[in-house]
Chain A
Amino acid sequence: MLRLPWFEHRAPRSVAEAAKILAGEGPRAMLIAGGTDLLPNMKRRHQAPKVLVSLRGVSELKNFSNGSGTNFGSALTLNQIVQNPKTPAALRQAAAQVATPHLRNMGTLGGNLCLDTRCNYYNQSYEWRKAIDFCLKVDGKICWVATASKRCVAVSSTDTAPALIALNAAVTLVSSQGEREVKVEDLYRNDGIEYLSRKPDEILTEVRVPKGWTSTYWKLRRRGSFDFPILGVAAALKFEKEVITEARIALGAVASRPFLVEKAGEFLKGKSLSDEVIAQVAELVANRAKPMDNTDMDLYWRKEVADDFAGYALRELRGDDMRETRLRIARSELA
């Protein structure tokens, strides 16, 4: 049986207390919430924090409030997000497609946003990685995906982040020094190692989602559950009658960070979703997808179908009945 390495466990009762522990322990400490990302990584010795700071007992992180925007505590589980009737469609669909029902009972929204980047050469046991003399991301010198690359190209695999970027959401980061608000799109950096702009002593406490968007999320993965995204397309629109007044389309799982496709948003403004417009935007979006050969399925194929997935998203937002397609792709209606 795979075993965890030794660690010391701290169980603060408040964000302030947790922040203080983080500040005191420095880099030897890591936060743990649902544990579904960190514990497998620890078992494979990707990370071996000496101190685990558990957020389980911090009840303020499980708050939910609904005012001018919708505020989700970062320690709400993904299933709690799915079941909340106030959760906007894209976030609900994204959360509902993370991993498996069991893991969604455990994994949290904050954990999914801070998910470690993934790579076929990285998400392996210590012994496996030793057999390739490790890689750039941890313990090694070469990126085996792109051997000339100076940068780690591990892929962002969070489903909820592209959804929240499209929804123009922001997160609150709290440290012992104070707190700040960061747009979700600015939470990420295009670097497989330093993939978050969150500082190690900061705690992601809350996600604030503005209202008024019609949104959706389409995920590509091989199977109906378990698998991380190998493409995620999130789209959020505001309409006046049939004319788009604002549009935000974000991509996940095609780079080391999820990102907003600004050009697509600009292009859509003032237009309505004709087949032609959808095809043009889908192309714009797909051009930004630069998948690498470091996750599941054929790289060129993933690139090739990106426009189809963007098309699914926009057609759904136009009001087309996409249930059959959704059932084929997600293997669930996500009702």
Chain B
Amino acid sequence: MKKKLDVVGKARRRVDARAKVTGALRYADDLFMPRMLYAKLLRSPHPHAVIEKIDAEKARRHPGVHLVLTGKDFPVPFGIMPVSVDEYPLAPERVRYVGDPVAAVIAVDEQTAVEAIALIEVRYRILKPIESPEAGLNNPEPRIHDYGEQGNIHRNQSYEFGKTEEALKSSDLVFEDLFFYEGNTHLPMEQQASLAFVDPEGRLQISSSTQNPHYLHRQLARVLQIAETRIRVVATPNGGAFGGKCDPGGHEFVVSKAALVLGRPVKIGLTREEVFYVHRGRHPVLMKMKTGVTKDGKLTGMHLQTLLDGGGYGSHGPASTFYTGVLTPVTYHYPRFKFEACRVFTNKPACGPKRGHGTPQPRFGQEVQLDKIAGKLGMDPAELRLKNLTKADSLTASWLRVGSTGLGDCITKVTEMSGWKQRRGKLGRGRGLGLACSTYMCGAGVAIYWNKMPHSGVQVLLDRSGGVIVYCGATEIGQGSDDVLAAIVAETLGVDTGVVRVVSGDTGITPVDLGSYSSRVTIMAGNAAVQAAERLRVQIAAVVSETLGTLPDRVVFSQGRVFAADHSGPGMSFVEAVAAAESQLGTLSAVGSYSPPKAPGKYKGAGVGPSPAYSFSSCVVEVEVDERTGWIHVPKIWIAHDIGRALNPTLARGQVIGGVYMGLGEALMEEQSFRRLPEKLSGALVHRAPSMLDYKSLTSLDMPDVEVALIEDPDPNCPYGAKEVGQGPLLPVMPALANAIYDAVGVRIDEIPITPDKVLRALESESKRVGPQSFPSVPYPEPMFVLPPWEGGDGKETKRDASAAVV
């Protein structure tokens, strides 16, 4: 029975707020146990070397040391993706970046462990470090890994959806641009920490700041060679994650192994510098983007080439590589689309998923190039975008299904809020407005490992006091997933979130949820929660309908009451209804699960990119640029985000502003960059700034006020219509800033970050541009050819020449 929403859509104190504002919440490093020992890792000082010998005798004999572990103790490798199982908890024979862990000391306290680490002697044979993807392409040897496509190329792929060169050739205008996006990292406030111990039943338990307890659970079983049933992973509340706590980390295996060997609790807390080495953040990406357009501003096709600096390990790299291309055609209709992507291993910390995973880089290029196209055509950039929007319930050339889309509404709204039409180009020299758009997935369509099981499971248990317990493997990383689950279940059962208790992220007691990544939790765990709560509602309604004198499907659950839809009687309290149902049916519990719809594309690789729904955003940045110094000031940002429905508007708005913040930080200053010392004197290849001081993130004084509009048009595939909001709003900020700078002072900064020195250099240059000058020759493979839906394709790979026959 449909009813007015009581919980969903109302601004509400999140369910975990009290624990957070009182300091009562226990993060991983806040856990202490009797007889607890501390672990510390020895990390490689060399970017690329073979380990010839490790002598740990002195460390073992150091007073207070209980155990020293080395690579020999971990013969089995791990990797977050089945296609990139290339890491060991401690490197057995080869180190691949400065910071690669090689040994561990477990001691009575952290200070003692630090002292003992310094006593371990490692003899290395130095190998030539590969410092960049270009160097990796030019130097197939030494190979960083003995797997991958060839030489130091990790992944290399190419797709063509319809004959793209042909489309470009027949366009009125073709734009070709090079863009570069520097790498950056998550910088969660909480440094990773883990505590492992053997529980009273003799099983391993690890409490860890991880986003993905389920994947960690599987990898622990693999690496430690023990049954999954002997392991329990508890994801402690994460003090921020942003993708940085998706991969299992060497430290998690080390404390687990040590706890098993010693039979004592073992804790580790990484230093801030170590967090920079764990990384798995934004890939540096060089891009070449060729786009065709008609005179009246219709896009005809795009050919996108990307080159990713992968760092020393695979991590999520195979997925990241896809993501530098696949979501590009979701915002605008490209009749044909070709993309080639190559990820190269380098001797730096591995890159992986950071908020927006692989898509901010091409989105930056795409949205800046659109601005250039609009300029050339003399069109309003907002108009150009509106003219090319993908349509609701359509397919892209690459066979992604676009469900609901509010991008048009987002553009209309954000241009209204910012006074775009009245103010753009009229703010005077040095001041400007820039606009950009984006889209993001509401959860990845396939799991990281191949299986046919649900992506999310929820169990709801009712007790006769009217309390509701929700069990789900999803992880609270600050984004509000516990609150989402509580709100959805409370709404469905017509109760207040105050009576709902959420138990999450614990592989010992909660049903599997794949994890808090790819903006999947609201949609997937949310849909599973709706199903579980709905099943309970149906059971209770069936029992009480007779007493209420109505039909079961006319029973309404609202605000702690259960009553007939026509208000024909006084109804009863939720507690009474539960008691009645429990009396008749026994203990009340139900499970729900969710699997995303099958991808329409059938070609190999079509599994990356599909999603049950896509969110959309449009952003306007205002900027002031001092033409004498290049100094950049951002006074205001407006953003409209198509969220489907805001489950809790306070949290939704917080996610949007937080995304804008992180995007602006990337746009202006965040850089995970490296220093190669002069080759003649040194082999060093070190992180430039592995500290909170030197890795620059915006402070309260650098952050402008953000005006947010939530565009709400409930999506039928999503719980109560709610789409993602955690990642999408970051994406349009960087190109919007770049476009605003162009509007202000007429220069193009085609690389991220955009700094005052680059602006000044562009102002003083002939080309009025700063950005990459060339794209190296990359041996992309022959593209897999797939016909777009409108050219008669069936979603499968086909022969290039088949198109003529079909059309």
Contact = CB atoms under 8 A, between A and B. Distances in A.
Contact of B693 (A127, A132, A226, A301): A226
A328 B633 contact: yes
Given A132-B684, A132-B686, A227-B693, A297 B755 contact: yes
A128 B684 CA distance: 10
B46 A131 contact: yes
A116 to B, nearest CB: 14
Nearest to B626: A328
B271 A1 contact: yes
B682 interface: yes
A224 B702 contact: yes
Contact of B678 (A2, A147, A222): A147
B699 A223 contact: yes
A132 B700 CA distance: 34
Contact of B110 (A3, A142, A296, A298): A3
Given A120-B688, A147-B678, A223 B701 contact: yes
B694 A296 contact: yes
Which residue among A123, A128, A300 has the maximum number of chain B CB atoms within 10 Å of its CB?
A: A128
A242 interface: no
Interface string A93-131: 000000000000000000000000000100111011011
Contact of A120 (B45, B628, B694): B694
B351 to A, nearest CB: 20
A23 interface: no
B269 A125 contact: no
Contact of A308 (B46, B110, B629, B702): B629
A296 B753 CA distance: 14
A130 B46 CA distance: 9
Contact of A225 (B631, B701, B756): B701
Contact of B696 (A1, A132, A296, A305): A296
A56 to B, nearest CB: 24
A186 B805 CA distance: 86
Contact of A222 (B46, B684, B696): B696
Given A120-B694, A223-B696, A304 B760 contact: yes
B699 A224 contact: yes
Interface string A200-226: 000000000000000000000011111
Nearest to A99: B693
B45 A332 contact: no
Contact of B681 (A120, A142, A331): A142
A127 B43 contact: yes
B149 interface: no
Interface in B743-766: 755-757, 760-761
Contacts of A123: 691, 693-694
Contacts of A147: 678, 681
Contacts of A125: 271, 273, 690
B226 interface: no
A52 interface: no
B362 to A, nearest CB: 26
Nearest to B38: A1
Interface string B606-630: 0000000000000000001010111
A312 B690 CA distance: 33
A144 interface: yes
A133 interface: yes
Interface string B512-543: 00000000000000000000000000000000
B698 interface: yes
B684 A131 contact: yes
B677 A144 contact: yes
Given A131-B98, A222-B669, A226-B693, A331 B701 contact: yes
A58 interface: no
Interface string B760-793: 1100000000000000000000000000000000
A224 B761 CA distance: 23
B294 interface: no
Interface in B251-306: 269, 271-273
B323 to A, nearest CB: 30
Contacts of A127: 43, 45, 273
Which of B269, B675, B693 has the most chain A CB within a 10 Å cutoff?
Answer: B693
A131 B628 CA distance: 39
A329 interface: yes
B46 A1 contact: no
A120 B689 CA distance: 8
Among B45, B272, B630, which residue has the most Cβ atoms of chain A within 10 A?
B45
Contacts of A296: 694, 696
Nearest to B761: A301
B624 A328 contact: yes
A131 B675 CA distance: 11
A130 B760 contact: no
A3 B112 CA distance: 10
Interface in B586-645: 624, 626, 628-631, 633
B798 interface: no
A226 B273 contact: no
B686 A128 contact: yes
Q: Which of A131, A296, A332 has the most CB of B within 10 A?
A: A131
Contacts of A124: 690-691
A292 B646 CA distance: 51
Interface string A13-46: 0000000000000000000000000000000000
A329 B633 CA distance: 9
B686 A1 contact: no
Contacts of A142: 681
Interface string B687-716: 111110110101111100000000000000
Contact of A332 (B273, B628, B691, B701): B701
A296 B273 CA distance: 18
B160 to A, nearest CB: 40
Nearest to B269: A1
Given A3-B114, A301-B757, A223 B698 contact: yes
A132 B678 CA distance: 11
Contacts of B684: 131-133
B111 interface: yes
A130 B755 CA distance: 31
Contact of A2 (B271, B689, B690): B271
A128 B686 CA distance: 8
Contacts of A133: 682, 684
A149 to B, nearest CB: 13
B273 A298 contact: no
Nearest to B113: A3
A298 B756 CA distance: 9
Contacts of B271: 1-2, 125
Interface in A144-192: 144, 147
A3 B631 contact: no
Nearest to A299: B757
Given A132-B684, A226-B693, A1 B110 contact: yes
B757 A226 contact: no
A208 B628 CA distance: 37
A297 B687 CA distance: 16
Nearest to A4: B111
Interface string B4-44: 00000000000000000000000001000000000000010
A109 B694 CA distance: 24
5 contacts: A2-B272, A123-B693, A132-B677, A225-B701, A301-B760
Given A297-B755, A305-B630, 10 more contacts: A120-B688, A123-B694, A125-B690, A144-B682, A222-B696, A225-B699, A301-B756, A305-B756, A328-B626, A328-B633
Closest 7 CB pairs of A and B: A224-B701, A301-B757, A298-B757, A331-B701, A131-B45, A132-B684, A305-B629
Interface of A: 1-3, 120, 123-125, 127-128, 130-133, 142, 144, 147, 222-227, 296-298, 300-301, 304-305, 308, 328-329, 331-332
Interface of B: 29, 43, 45-46, 98, 110-111, 114, 269, 271-273, 624, 626, 628-631, 633, 669, 675, 677-678, 681-682, 684, 686-691, 693-694, 696, 698-702, 755-757, 760-761
